[in-house]
Structure 1
């Protein structure tokens, strides 16, 4: 009777891989959390690639590198150290946008002496990093750490890069959503401000017998004199909380 254990193991692994990609791709949710997302990425990476630890380093908007996820305390300490000294496979991976691998960090001691020493202290002997990139834009790196020396085979490297790729797409998509939300909020705020200012102009025009241009001039002049935001003063005028005599006095005042 044929041994079906290997076939079962392969099928189980394929299901785990499939479910991982589905989970990583599912970012169109209201409660998307980047920390939770990256924790999922690193945890599943360790499980699927059989590495000792994994971490994510991302480029912040100001260009600085930030460690945003690690599967163990030692991995976090090592990645934080790499960022601090600006050295190591993960840092080079982010800078070049290409995979970097060292099966045995002892051979990389000459290239990254401080990183190699720190890795040994943290219990890691091998280090690999795949870029998180899309169309030439590199946003970070997925770091893969081994407790023993050893190269990743082609399938492992390919799967690691695929995980990094889908995570990159998800992160950039989420950033795009956030930018669009901010732009929408800013536009709505601008529209709301304009409505309030127009209402205030109308109140001043009626109360002071002014034209709309004269009313706006008075409103603007008082806001500048009081070092107050125009929309805040306009809101006070609309609600009746403003000093109308002071505002109207500027309708035909010097320089206005």
Structure 2
């Protein structure tokens, strides 16, 4: 027997309470977000599939999904550059398609979705507090037309804030990880540049500033990073020659203290 709206709402509330009681030690943020998608699939009507789209600097990606159908329908929008879920993420508005066979807003996408057995769609905006240039959408793909009513929309909009918190935390972690990786790269670059400067100081009696100027001159003439020039010098013991009209200035920098 089909579950009533009251049963679905009760299941959603109970599942959310259960999730809230679990510690992050046993449930990572990615797992929490996946649990939100799985919960959406379980409590929403229309035998649905679900996913979460994040729009980061206007670049969309699906961070979790309940199966290949939801992922594929998300990516079909990304390839087209538009669609209900992207519209929701970009504009922060709920989008509902009662029947994909007759909705005229995204006709090409509607035909694609219908061909894959999805007849109803609900996209709920995710408000990511403090996240600049990041937006999101909780996507529900129903296999039945006119699957959503006021009660099921309320369930979906009730789930969205939890998904938004999880998505925002995942994005914050990824940003922190990226910043840490960039810092590590910067430290490694500094180390090899200092090694290269030391070689030039020892061999040519340069000052630290003169050594860096020599590296920078070769870097500009070859249109490569200073780090790459420094790595070549450290590995080979030789400073690559300057190309084109910059050759004289680099030679002067290298031999300034020798003359």
Q: Please indicate the TM-score interval, normalised by the length of the shorter structure.
A: 0.5 to 0.7
Q: Return the offset for 1:128.
A: 2.0
TM-score, length-scaled by structure 1: 0.66
Give yes or no for the alignment of 1:231 onto 2:227: yes
Residues 1:173 and 2:173 aligned together: no
TM-superposed CA distance for 1:232, in Å, is: 4.1
Match of 2:3 in 1: none
Match for residue 251 of structure 1? 254
2:120 corresponding residue in structure 1: 126
Tell whether the 8 Å contact from 1:27 to 1:174 is kept in structure 2 after alignment: no
Corresponding residue for residue 44 of structure 2: 49
Which structure's CA Rg is the greater one? Answer: 1
Normalised by the length of structure 2, the TM-score is 0.66
Alignment of 1:100-115 (within 5 A): 100-105=95-100, 108-115=102-109
Once the two structures are TM-superposed, the CA of residue 225 in structure 1 deviates from its matched residue by 5.5
Cα distance, 1:177–1:86 mapped onto 2, change above 3 Å:
closer
Distance 1:133 1:27, change over 3 A: farther
Match for residue 88 of structure 2? 93
Shift of 1:45: 0.7
* Alpha-carbon separation, structure 1, partners of 2:227 and 2:78: 44
Q: How many residues align?
A: 240
Instruction: Please give the residue correspondences for 1:66-77 in structure 2 after superposition, counting only pairs within 5 Å.
Output: 66-67=61-62, 69-77=64-72
CA pair 116-13 structure 1, distance change in 2 beyond 3 A? closer
Unaligned runs of 5+ in 1: 1-7
- How far 1:47 sits from its partner (Å)? 0.8
* SS of alignment partner, residue 56 of structure 1: strand
SS in 1 for 2:177: helix
How big is the shift at 1:126?
2.9
Match of 1:16 in 2: 15
Relative distance call for 1:184 and 1:12 in structure 2 (3 A) is closer
Over aligned residues, Cα RMSD in angstroms? 4.3
Q: In structure 2, how many angstroms separate the alpha carbons of the residues matched to 1:137 and 1:223? A: 34
- In structure 2, the residue matched to 1:140 is 136
The answer to whether the 8 Å contact 1:27/1:170 transfers is: no
